[in-house]
Amino acid sequence: MGKGGDKSAAATGATKEVTINGRVYDITNLKHPGGSVITYYSDTGIDATQAFANFHVRSKKAQKMLELLPSKPADTVAAKKKMLPGQDKLLEDFDAFTEQLRSEGFFKPSIPHVIYRITELLVLHVVGFWLLRAGYFVPALIFLGIGTGRCGWLMHEGGHYSLTGNIAVDRMLQVVIYGVGCGMSGAWWRNQHNKHHSMPQKLGHDVDLNTLPLLAFTTKVVKRAGFSQKLWIKLQAYLFPVIINLMVALGWQLYLHPRHIARIKNGAEAASLVVRYILWTVLVTAQYGVAKSALLYLAYNWVGSNYIFINFAVSHTHLDVVPKEDVSVDWVRYAAIYTMNVKPGPLKWVNWWMSYLNFQIEHHLFPSMPQYRFPLISSRVKAFFEKHGLKYDQRSYPEAIAVTFKNMHKVGSDVFLG
């Protein structure tokens, strides 16, 4: 956290406050380094204790800055009256559960695991480019597409600072892996993704629901649409793998992310993008020429974008959404009700295919925990949910894919007929 001025709030006399660990903190004059995600809690009045603890597991600076803010004791009696039945006990037990996992070392990163993951990326790309230069285009594009998708999986963990446990090192790894491997901005991703983690599936808050005009995961985000827009959305389940995922990837690579990098003047991210295109030019364009190189780049991005975007979609997009005015959902219920897991499958192949993010429930409960530890705690999380009457939603990979595309088809049909 860092201090700064919120002139609009100060000028109007409005006070912004968040409740953390039984104290109300005045954040009116706080410039939050993580962006506007903190205002989700001040605007809604939802207790931010669990969000603060899980977003800042490794940040001593955040705790120090919190202690410097003006604060007062929270009215715990009034707060409990607003809670759902058993909600206070749920959160109390969750905090104890989190501390138990921390004391057992589950938040401790593994450097050998990080080395293995980075080595895997290098192997996929070396083999992919060798095959491409040898003229074996189909297997080459599969290797490179999966490689860039797995760059996305690994940079995701770097953005949560759960790789090495050192924030500066993890951020650097994210910038390089995402920039060189995917052509995208880690800074942009962190800002957007933390909003998603803060309140997944909540209208007006979860940026992952802001997918128009390309597609809609719920009819509730479609306010107005002409015939051509309705027709596009009606066909979105078919267009999603064919063209939409590629359009998103190219839009991010060629416009949205470079624009963000230029705005924040991030030299490291700009350099990572330059390295990416130099490598492609030297290894591909120099051999095949501009036209064929461009076609190969599109095909490579098509494979990679489908690999990562389809797998990301299965964990949330077909689930219910939270109305913007609903302030009753807590950190644990967001993970339990608006997130689902994909079973590991035979030989636990899904764990590798989705880089342990098939355990989305665990990831949303503990975003700063190294992802390879999720299978080790899943049975305990399930038991915790059962104790508090919460469903532990876990489905097979084929079922998860099917329900995701069925939801896109249903939303498209409802929008077209609406």
CA dihedral 149, 154, 157, 161 (to 10 degrees): -140
Under DSSP, the state recorded for 283 is I
Q: How confident is the model at residue 58 (pLDDT cuts 50, 70, 90)?
A: confident
CATH number for 2-82: choose from 3.40.50, 1.25.40, 3.10.120, 3.40.1350. 3.10.120
Q: Which of 306, 301, 273, 307 minimizes the C-alpha distance to 183?
A: 273
Q: pLDDT per residue over 363-373, tens digit each?
A: 999 999 999 99
- Edge-to-edge, what's the strand order for the sheet holding 71-73? 17-20, 23-26, 71-73
Structure tokens that stand for 386 in this block: 């059962």
Cα 315 to Cα 404: distance, rounded to the nearest angstrom: 9
The residue ranking higher by pLDDT, 6 or 41, is: 41
Secondary structure of residue 10 in the 3-state scheme: helix
Q: pLDDT per residue over 212-266, tens digit each?
A: 999 999 999 998 889 999 999 999 999 999 999 999 999 999 999 999 999 999 9
pLDDT at 77 over 80: no
Interval 311-315 mean pLDDT: 96
Q: How confident is the model at residue 310 (pLDDT cuts 50, 70, 90)?
A: very high
Interval 116-126 mean pLDDT: 98
Query: In sequence order, which ranges of 134-256 are alpha helices (DSSP H)?
Result: 137-159, 167-182, 186-198, 227-234, 236-239, 245-251
Write the CB contacts of 284 (distance below 8 Å, at least 6 apart in sequence): 129, 132, 133, 293, 296, 297
In order, the DSSP letters of 108-131 are ---HHHHHHHHHHHHHHHHHHHHH
- Phi, psi at 341, each rounded to 5°: -100, 160
Domain with CATH 3.10.120 in the chain: 2-82
Positive or negative, the CA dihedral 288, 290, 296, 297 is positive
Secondary structure of residue 354 in the 3-state scheme: coil
Cα→Cα distances 155→74, 158, 299, 355, Å: 38, 5, 22, 11
The residue ranking higher by pLDDT, 75 or 364, is: 364
Question: With pLDDT > 90 as the criterion, what percentage of the chain qualifies?
Answer: 77
In order, the DSSP letters of 376-388 are HHHHHHHHHHHHT
Secondary structure of residue 73 in the 3-state scheme: strand
Structure tokens that stand for 213 in this block: 């005009």
Q: pLDDT per residue over 259-285, tens digit each?
A: 999 999 999 999 999 999 999 999 999
Under DSSP, the state recorded for 23 is E
Cα 409 to Cα 404: distance, rounded to the nearest angstrom: 9
